[in-house]
Chains A and B, each alone.
Chain A
Amino acid sequence: MTIGKTENGSALTLALEGRLDTSTAPELEKTLKESLPGVSELTLDFAGLEYISSAGLRVLLSAQKTMNRQGGMKLVRVREIIMEIFEVTGFSEILTVE
């Protein structure tokens, strides 16, 4: 997985490419932990994300909890195959998908 980072003041966009699974979720977790302080608007660009497992969902839930306290978080350009996973797990209700 690769993570592209774009910062604009207190707005941060992370563009994910590849697979968010057991082996790559810790990378995203680390990036979020380092980058989220001071961020009030987090955008996750999922255009390049091909796969997500529960390890990835755990990191998203944790990020959502953090952002509920310090601003907001949204997901953009989510592929249908990933959207189906969100729907099955109830994550489509928790996350803001645009």
Chain B
Amino acid sequence: MLTPITNEWKGLAVPGNLEAVQGFVEECLDAGGASMKTQMQMSVAVEEVFINIAHYAYAPGTGEAVVTVTLSGSPAAAAITFRDKGVPYDPLANSDPDVTLSADEREIGGLGIFMTKKLVDEMSYEYRDGENVLTLRKLL
């Protein structure tokens, strides 16, 4: 694949649309030849990011999110970008939870973004033209 291929999903950032977004991303990754393992890991990452946007970006209202998947070659990689016009929020600014603590010491929650970071090869955030732009990159 020499020319990158980009596909886009646009819709309301609500939890009820998670399956549609995951389905869209899976189809794109499948077309790019991603393994089942990669697809599952990216599905988890997509859930964490999309649900975060759905819960917080436009709270207490709702708004739109745009998800694009770009497949490129040599090395084969996927970039998944989430854009919303909600409150500026940099998920990378949070400190990581202490994953060495025992069950009783661990807080319930705070894991989503940490998991996402671990599951992808690169995660970046910027606030650009009034939009939160979060990009996940994964080698295929």
Interface residue ranges, A against B (CB under 8 Å): 21-23, 50-55, 57-58, 61-62, 64-65, 68, 81, 84-85, 88-90, 93-95
Contact = CB atoms under 8 A, between A and B. Distances in A.
A-B pairs with the 9 shortest C-beta distances?
A90-B99, A88-B118, A54-B112, A64-B103, A54-B111, A53-B47, A94-B103, A53-B44, A58-B108
B77 to A, nearest CB: 20
Contact of B37 (A81, A89, A95): A81
A52 B99 CA distance: 17
A57 B40 contact: no
Contacts of A95: 103
B44 A84 contact: no
A89 B99 contact: yes
Contacts of A85: 41, 44, 115
B64 interface: no
Interface string B17-38: 0110000000000000000110
A2 B9 CA distance: 30
B103 to A, nearest CB: 4
Contacts of B4: none
Given A65-B103, A94-B102, 14 more contacts: A21-B18, A22-B18, A23-B15, A51-B44, A54-B48, A54-B111, A58-B108, A61-B103, A61-B106, A65-B104, A68-B103, A88-B115, A89-B115, A93-B100
